[in-house]
Chain A
């Protein structure tokens, strides 16, 4: 299932549609969001390097970790360094997001940080429009105009929300998503740092929401007892819940387990102890009392259990005694086709059947005894 997310990021968007957008959210109880982000980043980068993805380049907006960390990460994951230089551009919003270094008087004997060609500094995180145009310029810079697209990854939207308001961040992500040159976009957020409406707003803008949740929920009991079992369980495992919005307007809910190890994250199918309960959102449901056309035809074809079929036969009144009916009319028969001997092939060609049990047969036929004889006067 994480594979399917990687695949959808790789495939990108169709013509005329907005780009797929992935939100990764985690919380303090299961803080593996950054690792999940790195996992998807490395996957996408290797796919770009191989040339299998729709995106021809990647722009990474680094707000939480320094650009050198990402370059090391990509190198560790096996992406070729030269290809990293060629196809990845990092917008450094980590070193000096608010432009403070420009305001303090320059120190004399400070080393100038070595600037790499694919890392560009961004000093004004508060200006969302400038951020948007920088991202687009960076992307256009190495992908060119025309039809080629590039992918965008935003490291920590929570950091962005520190500096600007939610509508502007949501507007930025939405504008990036609807831009013609973006193939796919994904971002990370720590959901417990914000109000619920922030998560709701980002879920509204994105097409896939992947949330990392603790395997065992934290209760007050755990907190009071300083439950080490809980800590141990949650320190290396987590639940990975995905909510996909499909093109046909339906929602797909999936869950997987996430394991942390030295290398990174690994996804595995969910074990049975934590089954994912699907909330059914069903309202009141009625029975369909209308008949469909086929059902109406079938109903018309069934022969009814009347003595008088209306086709010219003699009327026989059935009075509850089996002895009267000798040749025809066995009313206990389930198949109504045996009712009249002159039934043609019209009977039972449909699926209509009548299950008919006369309740007058349960009674004993009148005996010839006079009940007054029992009186012993």
Chain B
């Protein structure tokens, strides 16, 4: 673990030294494809791995930061956190990254049978990516920002467009209807956390996993993934040991920080007391929450477009910023989970349904709308 820490520090040092000079952007443009497509280098010495959902990677500014702790707050009514976990683990399998999966199920291997298999990006997806990136590129050129660091981001984007194939490999689309074959998921380490009386067993397992990871040498970055499902589910033996749970999360966060592993923990919020819920939220580097939507809700169907296709809502509370002081400000923090063609998980911004000019007053009652509540009917 010490050598892994050294390797990581060295990488960070060299990256940060070069980020202040023009030459920093050239290595990423010169290398046509990094040796490990599963790991992407970002600004300020950050390395990202994909979350398995391309939209989520884009929203979070590159993906899950290696060395960070991602926590997902579950909704007691809906199993959407499992979708996130499935995509996360499948992405790890595709990139041949070691994965540790802990779950309160009696037999976690049953869950591994539901991991989706990757689909080769079709032309449609490529076109979608192209138009988005071109818009951004045009905007960048048109604005001519005086901020001196902006040109480095611009270079990164152009290099991304050149390496279109590499970008596609970083995060795959997963077909939720097809499952990964058994031989691929054999390598995932699993652990059942239902019957363990206290958390030291889980702690030891995580430490062993981290020490068993291959060292990252030179330019070949490796990554590992830890996925823990429903950490404080009520049926687990340790579920009422609140302080022990907090201590475990702090331990996990500290050992991950100096390693090349990203950990995703999902937990049910209804079972925690409010004080501990706040503690858990503060311990997370990246905090997401999934929420269920009511069924056959006419008001919601009128308010939002695409209500029929929505599975649920995803809210981004916090985005990891381990290596930088600049906070990530998102334009929108709530997204709807949808299945495109009933297969691919996509995240979309919530869009208000077009309003009739005559019935414009229906929105003045909902105080949660940001802009439209001021102007009821729209006249051009």
The answer to whether A284 touches B294 (Cβ under 8 A) is no
The answer to whether A250 touches B292 (Cβ under 8 A) is yes
Also in contact, A283 and B333, with CB within 8 A (given A167-B234, A171-B194): yes
The size of the chain A interface, using a CB distance under 8 A, is: 37
Also in contact, A282 and B368, with CB within 8 A (given A245-B77, A287-B352, A288-B351): yes
Q: How far is the CA of A286 from the CA of B370 in the complex (A)?
A: 7
From residue 255 to 296 of chain A, which have CB atoms closer than 8 A to chain B?
278, 280-288
The answer to whether B271 touches A204 (Cβ under 8 A) is yes
Also in contact, A200 and B76, with CB within 8 A (given A251-B293, A287-B371): yes
Which one of B106, B235, B352, B366 lies within 8 Å of A170 (CB-CB)?
A: B235
Q: How far is the CA of A173 from the CA of B272 in the complex (A)?
A: 19
Smallest CB gap from A252: residue in B: B295
Nearest CB on B from A158, distance (A): 16
Which chain A residues lie closer than 8 Å to B303 at the CB level? 282, 285
Q: How far is the CA of A202 from the CA of B235 in the complex (A)?
A: 10
Which one of B106, B273, B304 lies within 8 Å of A285 (CB-CB)?
A: B304
Nearest CB on A from B366, distance (A): 7
The answer to whether A165 touches B294 (Cβ under 8 A) is no
The answer to whether B234 touches A201 (Cβ under 8 A) is yes
Nearest CB on B from A227, distance (A): 33
The answer to whether B237 touches A245 (Cβ under 8 A) is no
The answer to whether A250 touches B368 (Cβ under 8 A) is no
Nearest CB on B from A250, distance (A): 4
From residue 285 to 318 of chain B, which have CB atoms closer than 8 A to chain A?
291-297, 299-300, 303-305, 311-313, 315
Also in contact, A204 and B352, with CB within 8 A (given A243-B77, A278-B294, A287-B372): no
Most chain A CB neighbours (cut-off 10 Å) among B297, B300, B304, B366:
B297
Smallest CB gap from A288: residue in B: B351
The answer to whether B273 touches A284 (Cβ under 8 A) is no
CB of B243 closer than 8 Å to a CB of A: no
Which chain B residues lie closer than 8 Å to A283 at the CB level? 313, 315, 333-334, 350, 368
The answer to whether A166 touches B239 (Cβ under 8 A) is yes
Which chain B residues lie closer than 8 Å to A253 at the CB level? 294
Q: How far is the CA of A45 from the CA of B273 in the complex (A)?
A: 39
1/0 contact string of B71-88 vs chain A (CB within 8 Å): 000001111100000000
CB of A34 closer than 8 Å to a CB of B: no
Which one of B80, B238, B270, B293 lies within 8 Å of A204 (CB-CB)?
A: B270
Which chain A residues lie closer than 8 Å to B9 at the CB level? none
Which chain B residues lie closer than 8 Å to A243 at the CB level? 77
Nearest CB on A from B296, distance (A): 7
1/0 contact string of A219-260 vs chain B (CB within 8 Å): 000000000000000000000000101101111110000000
The answer to whether A252 touches B370 (Cβ under 8 A) is no
Secondary structure of the B contact surface, majority rule: loop
CB of B236 closer than 8 Å to a CB of A: yes
CB of A175 closer than 8 Å to a CB of B: yes
Also in contact, A205 and B234, with CB within 8 A (given A280-B300, A286-B370): yes
CB of B332 closer than 8 Å to a CB of A: yes
Nearest CB on A from B278, distance (A): 15
CB of B247 closer than 8 Å to a CB of A: no
Which one of A197, A248, A278 lies within 8 Å of B271 (CB-CB)?
A: A197
Which chain A residues lie closer than 8 Å to B236 at the CB level? 167, 171
Also in contact, A278 and B234, with CB within 8 A (given A200-B76, A251-B77, A285-B351): no
CB of B380 closer than 8 Å to a CB of A: yes
From residue 153 to 192 of chain A, which have CB atoms closer than 8 A to chain B?
165-168, 170-171, 173-175, 178
Q: How far is the CA of A243 from the CA of B77 in the complex (A)?
A: 9
The answer to whether A285 touches B237 (Cβ under 8 A) is no
Also in contact, A204 and B351, with CB within 8 A (given A197-B273, A252-B295): no
Q: List 28 interface pairs A-B (beta carbons < 8 Å), by A numbering.
A: A167-B236, A167-B237, A171-B236, A200-B270, A201-B234, A203-B270, A205-B235, A243-B77, A245-B77, A245-B78, A249-B80, A251-B294, A278-B297, A278-B299, A280-B294, A280-B297, A280-B300, A280-B368, A282-B366, A282-B368, A283-B368, A284-B333, A284-B334, A284-B369, A285-B352, A285-B372, A288-B352, A355-B380
Going nearest first, the 9 A-B pairs with the smallest beta carbon separation are A201-B234, A288-B351, A250-B295, A170-B234, A283-B334, A200-B270, A171-B235, A249-B78, A174-B235
- Which residues of A pack against B, CB within 8 Å? 165-168, 170-171, 173-175, 178, 197, 200-205, 243, 245-246, 248-253, 278, 280-288, 355
- Which residues of B pack against A, CB within 8 Å? 76-80, 105-106, 194, 233-240, 268, 270-273, 291-297, 299-300, 303-305, 311-313, 315, 332-334, 349-352, 366, 368-372, 380
